[in-house]
Structure 1
Amino acid sequence: MRNATELMVQYAAYHRDRRNITTHFIGIPLIVFAIGILLSRPEFAVGGRTLTPAWLVWGAATLWYLTRGNFVLGAAVSFVNFVLILLAHQVPAASTGAWLSWGVGVFVVGWILQFIGHYYEGRKPAFVDDLVGLLVGPMFVTGEFLFGLGWGKSLLDEIERRVGPTMLRDLAHP
């Protein structure tokens, strides 16, 4: 079980170009939102509450995030994912066609943005080498947002010590 620092460092190694990180700030939330839409059906009752597969996946992911050894980061990414899943549950009130179109459409747009970012990076996405990267992506963009607010200086310093600072890769001379 790798801790948050190890996971963030490994993921950051694939994400040093600032344009790639920027596309991830949009693409990753879109993907989480789309997964929330697609998993918002079927609904079932448990203990008087209505649940969906999306909430079960959110609960399992939250447990995983909170056990990575950085409670603030785990709680922050869990909260962001909670909001995205909550918003995603507003879409299925429409027809099945609209639900499926929104879910698949937003998912595809999110991944297109990811691959555009990795063009700038000049490197394949992290999940290609480690599927855990699919869980680390939301944690990474949440961490980057928190770094921008001044939180987590020691974590940011450790990431940059191990994989270097962010930059803009020269596309003319890769």
Structure 2
Amino acid sequence: MDIRSARPLDRYFAGYSGDHSNATNQAIHVVAVPAILWSAIALLWCVPPLLPWFQHGIWAALAMFGTWAYYNRLSRPLGIGMLMLFFVAGCICRLLEDRLGIPLLLRIGIGVFVLAWIAQFIGHRIEGRRPSFLTDLTYLLIGPIWVLAKLYRQFGWRY
């Protein structure tokens, strides 16, 4: 198949996969990318709402909705999977907010974010290639569905 005639998702995956061919880097990404996604949601969760009748998490919810809409447009099956992952991530943030409070959720989110990015850069050092997002910021959004697509392929699910 000619990559120019492929779906946009297939073109993104081809570009992303080209920068992630090393097995160790891929394994790091399978752990670090979801960690970064969750931590970004957690950090947005901690941003105070502007209006008093909103609760913490409104900014995370808006970001998750916008990102989900993008994913759903690229692939309905991956969009459904990401919707479920966003729901779980939101539930985890809400649970941690309830049990630990916003200040500790913020610290955990920062810690996970920093550690996961360090892991990512170690993976790219092993790979010997720059991260994809340095050439196109869209790849920051492609990473999570690339990892999810790997899971789908393991189960034989089409996307």
TM-score between the two structures when normalised by the length of structure 1: 0.77
Q: Structure 1 residues 106, 50: CA separation in 2 closer, same or farther (over 3 Å shift)? A: closer
Match in the other structure for 2:130: 124
Write out the 4+ residue segments of structure 1 that deviate beyond 6 Å after TM superposition: none
More helix by share: 2
Secondary structure of the structure 2 residue equivalent to 1:39? helix
Match in the other structure for 2:34: 29
Structure 1: runs of 5 or more not aligned: 156-174
**1:89-132 alpha-carbon deviations (Å, 9 max, x no partner):** 32233344312211110101111121121122110111111101
Q: Structure 1 residues 51, 120: CA separation in 2 closer, same or farther (over 3 Å shift)? A: closer
Secondary structure of the structure 1 residue equivalent to 2:157? coil
Match in the other structure for 1:39: 44
CA shift, 1:50, in A, is 7.6
* 1:57 aligned to which of 63, 67, 76: 63
Q: Given that residues 40 and 54 in structure 1 are in contact (C-alpha distance below 8 angstroms), is that contact kept between their aligned partners in structure 2?
A: yes
How many residues were matched structurally? 149
The whole-number CA distance in structure 1 between the counterparts of 2:8 and 2:118 is: 29
Match in the other structure for 2:84: 79
Q: Is 1:15 aligned with 2:20? A: yes
Match in the other structure for 1:101: 107
**RMSD between aligned residues:** 2.1
Letter in 2 for 1:59: F
TM-score between the two structures when normalised by the length of structure 2: 0.83
